C-alpha cells in the first residue's frame, strides 16, 4: 500500500512539473523521500497499533474418548467425519461380565433385604437385639450402593457422543480391547458446538486492543471474501509466561517475545460451520486509536483477500 501511495505521489508530481505548476528544483526532486518518511512516521507505523493485524485460525475443541469401563468392543457404528448428535452411540463394549456382576449383586441384595425384614420382626418381638438390625441395614445399604455402581458400569458399556460433532481419524474396530486408562484414548471427537476464532498479534501492537472492537478477517479457504467479527477477549497468558510447578530450581531459559492471542466472535455464526478446523487467514482489529489508519488497513486486507486466490501460503 505504501508503494502505491508513493507511486501515486510521484505520478502527480511529474504531472505538475510537466504542466509547470511546480518548478523542477532540488526540493521537489527530493520530495518523494520526504513523502515516504511522512507516510512511514505519520501513518504506516502508527497503523500497527491503531489497526493491528495478525494471523487468524479457526479451531474446535477436541475430546479424547476414553471409556469408563474396560472390555472387548463388539460394535463401532460410527463413520469418520460424519456429523453426530450429542448422545449418539460411538461404540459398544461387551456387556456380558457387567450384566453378570449386576445380577449377582441384585441377588445378594434381595437376600439381604429378606434377612433385614426377618431381623426387624425378631427385634420388634424383642427376640433379637437392635444391633443385628443395624448390621443387616448396613449390609443392605452397602449392596444397594454396589448395585448402583454395577448398573452404572453396565450403562457405560455403550459409549456415546459427548456433544454435537464428529469422530476423526477413526481406527477402532470390532474385537479390539479397550481400557479405562486416561493415557489410552481410543478415538478423537471434534466438538462442533463451538467454533474458536483466534488472532495472533505482536505484543508491541496489542496495547490498545479491547473487547467489543470491530474485526475483519479473510481466509485462504474463502479467497476474495472479507468477514466481520468482534473482539471477545485478549487472553491474559501465553505459554512462555506460564510457571509449571516442579521440584527443581528455576532454570534459565531464552526469553522470546511471543505474540498475544486475541479471541474473536464472528458476526456470522454459520461461517464457523463452513470453515474446517485449521483454516488460516489474516485478521485486522480496529482500535479506538489512529482512526485515519483504519481505511489503509481495510484496503490492505482486501488486497490480501484477492491475493489469496493465487498465494497458497
Q: Where are the domains of the chain?
A: 1-50, 61-191
> How confident is the model over 82-91, as a mean pLDDT?
94
Cα–Cα distance measured from residue 213 to residue 154, given in angstroms and rounded to the nearest whole number: 51
Residue 232: all three cell numbers together: 471477545
The pLDDT of residue 255 is: 78
Residue 286: all three cell numbers together: 480496529
- Predicted confidence (pLDDT) per residue in 53-62, tens digit: 999 999 998 9
The pLDDT of residue 9 is: 65
Residue 299: all three cell numbers together: 484496503
Residue 224: all three cell numbers together: 476474495
- Predicted confidence (pLDDT) per residue in 40-54, tens digit: 666 777 888 899 999
Other Cβ atoms within 10 Å of 136 Cβ, number: 21
Structure confidence at residue 3 as a pLDDT band (50, 70, 90): low
The pLDDT of residue 169 is: 84
Q: Is residue 180 predicted with pLDDT exceeding 70?
A: yes
Fold annotation for 61-191: OB fold (Dihydrolipoamide Acetyltransferase, E2P) (2.40.50)
- Residues 196, 234 contacting (CB under 8 angstroms): no
The pLDDT of residue 31 is: 74
Cα–Cα distance measured from residue 309 to residue 306, given in angstroms and rounded to the nearest whole number: 6
Q: Is residue 311 predicted with pLDDT exceeding 90?
A: no
> How confident is the model over 84-98, as a mean pLDDT?
95
Query: Could you give the residue ranges of the DSSP H alpha helices within 125-167?
Result: 130-155
The pLDDT of residue 18 is: 80
Q: What sign for the dihedral angle of Cα 122, 123, 128, 134?
A: positive
110-115 contact pairs (CB < 8 A, 24+):
112/136, 112/139, 112/140, 112/143, 113/140, 115/139
The pLDDT of residue 1 is: 62
Cα distances from 27 to residues 13, 32, 41, 186, 311, in angstroms, run 12, 9, 20, 73, 40
**CA Rg value for the chain:** 34
For the chain, give the percent of residues with pLDDT over 70: 91
Smallest CA-to-CA distance from 62 within 183, 234, 196 is with 196
Determine if the pTM surpasses 0.75: no
Structure confidence at residue 193 as a pLDDT band (50, 70, 90): confident
Amino acid at each position: 500500500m505504501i508503494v502505491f501511495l508513493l507511486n501515486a505521489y510521484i505520478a502527480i508530481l511529474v504531472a505538475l512539473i510537466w504542466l509547470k505548476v511546480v518548478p523542477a528544483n532540488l526540493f521537489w526532486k527530493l520530495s518523494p523521500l520526504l513523502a515516504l518518511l511522512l507516510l512511514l512516521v505519520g501513518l504506516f507505523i502508527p497503523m500497527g497499533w491503531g489497526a493491528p493485524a495478525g494471523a487468524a485460525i479457526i479451531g474446535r475443541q477436541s475430546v479424547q474418548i476414553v471409556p469408563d469401563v474396560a472390555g472387548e468392543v463388539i460394535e463401532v457404528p460410527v463413520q469418520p467425519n460424519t456429523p453426530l448428535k450429542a448422545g449418539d452411540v460411538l461404540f459398544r463394549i461387551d456387556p456380558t461380565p457387567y450384566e453378570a456382576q449386576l445380577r449377582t449383586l441384585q441377588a445378594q441384595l434381595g437376600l439381604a433385604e429378606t434377612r433385614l425384614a426377618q431381623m426387624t420382626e425378631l427385634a420388634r418381638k424383642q427376640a433379637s437385639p437392635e444391633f443385628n438390625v443395624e448390621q443387616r441395614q448396613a449390609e443392605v445399604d452397602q449392596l444397594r450402593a454396589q448395585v448402583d455402581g454395577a448398573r452404572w458400569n453396565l450403562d457405560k458399556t455403550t459409549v456415546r457422543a459427548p456433544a454435537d460433532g464428529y469422530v476423526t481419524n477413526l481406527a477402532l474396530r470390532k474385537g479390539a480391547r479397550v481400557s479405562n486408562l486416561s493415557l489410552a484414548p481410543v478415538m478423537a471427537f471434534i466438538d462442533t458446538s463451538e467454533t474458536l476464532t483466534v488472532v495472533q498479534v505482536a505484543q508491541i501492537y496489542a496495547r490498545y486492543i479491547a473487547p467489543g472492537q470491530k474485526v475483519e478477517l479473510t481466509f485462504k479457504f474463502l479467497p476474495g471474501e472479507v468477514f466481520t467479527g468482534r473482539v471477545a477477549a485478549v487472553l491474559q497468558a501465553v505459554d512462555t509466561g506460564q510457571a509449571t510447578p516442579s521440584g527443581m530450581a528455576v532454570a534459565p531459559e531464552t526469553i522470546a517475545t511471543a505474540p498475544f492471542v486475541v479471541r474473536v466472535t464472528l458476526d456470522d455464526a454459520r461461517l464457523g460451520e463452513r470453515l474446517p478446523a485449521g483454516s488460516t487467514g489474516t485478521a485486522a482489529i480496529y482500535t479506538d486509536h489512529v482512526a485515519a489508519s483504519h481505511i489503509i488497513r481495510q484496503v490492505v486486507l482486501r488486497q490480501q483477500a484477492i491475493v489469496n486466490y493465487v498465494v497458497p501460503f
